[in-house]
Chain A
Amino acid sequence: MPEAGEHAHPTVGTYLRVAAILVILTVLEVGVFYVPAFHVVLVPTLLALSAVKFALVVLFYMHLRMDSRFFSFLFGGPFLLAVVVLVALLFLFFGHFTLRGAAGGGGAGG
């Protein structure tokens, strides 16, 4: 029985459709990796495909789409924090600027 703030879980048909989309996206990911024409946009394309797969599993298989928004907050808060820390560290180690604002080759952590 659904709890307060929750709705019924998806049907088996929805689960199967999501699985089909996940398989197609994985095939696309591997395909993009092997096609030289896509290498110019390889990183953004792979990141976008990966993000869609991530969202599909979290929203439909982990039921965040229909569960209480508080669960989304419990998951989304730390997840966003992890992403922000990751991006900040990458900028510190690989960004072409330092914390003092001057142009620098190796970044602050360099």
Chain B
Amino acid sequence: MTHAAAAHHTSMGLDSRKMAFWAFIGSECLLFGSLISTYLIYKGKSVVGPYPHDILNIPFTSVSTFDLLMSSLMMVLALAAVQRGDLKWAKIWLFATAFLGILFLGGQVYEFTSFVREGLTLQTNLFGCTFFVLTGTHGAHVTVGVLWLLTLWVRALQGKLGPAQALTVEISGLYWHFVDVVWIVIFTLVYLIQ
């Protein structure tokens, strides 16, 4: 633990950055809770199509879900590598996590553009409005996560990511895993339960 990190301890003996980040994740639960509630309340209330069963591609989204789950695995492997001072594997796993995140975003861009081509936009109906806002907000979070991971990867390339910075990687991991659990919920409630 560096002196800088030790200076962040609270009176509870917990790291204040980690505590603050858990509080932030708690607030994010409420944000996504409100977006998911809105989607579910307006579900089935669209007066014009396309409707969810006309347009949602389950096989494609299942692959995206698998991709995001695997990125979470890469993230914990990166953290384990950083904690044991294995810079080589830390670089590999961090890049793999970011790469899988970019793949997920590519899939989302493909899905959104194909939906627009099929006539579903933000203004088409209640389904389009709530679907794009919910999954778009999640995609924005994934984008932030990818940028954060790439920043860590560059720091690893510069040799500045040792066991002393493990907490920094752990906090970025908390964010990435949260994005993953939000997608677990979205995949079930939006895509599978139509």
> Contact residues of A with B, CB < 8 Å?
1, 3-6, 9-10, 12, 15-16, 18-19, 22-23, 26, 29-30, 33-34, 42-43, 46-47, 49-50, 53-54, 57-58, 61-63, 68, 70-71, 74-75, 77-79, 81-83, 85-86, 89-90, 93
Q: Would A58 and B177 count as touching, CB distance under 8 A?
A: yes
Query: Bound state CA distance, A9 and B180, in angstroms?
Result: 19
Which residues on A sit within 8 Å (CB–CB) of B75? 61
Residue of B nearest to A74 (CB): B22
B185: Cβ under 8 A from any A Cβ = yes
B32: Cβ under 8 A from any A Cβ = yes
Q: Would A15 and B40 count as touching, CB distance under 8 A?
A: no
B interface residues, tally (CB under 8 Å): 51
> Contact residues of B with A, CB < 8 Å?
1, 9, 12-15, 18-19, 22-23, 25-27, 29-30, 32-34, 36-37, 40-41, 58-59, 62, 65-66, 69-70, 72-73, 75-77, 79-80, 83, 170, 173-174, 177-178, 180-181, 184-185, 187-189, 192-193
Q: Would A15 and B73 count as touching, CB distance under 8 A?
A: yes
Query: Bound state CA distance, A23 and B15, in angstroms?
Result: 33
Query: Bound state CA distance, A89 and B177, in angstroms?
Result: 27
Q: Would B177 and A12 count as touching, CB distance under 8 A?
A: no
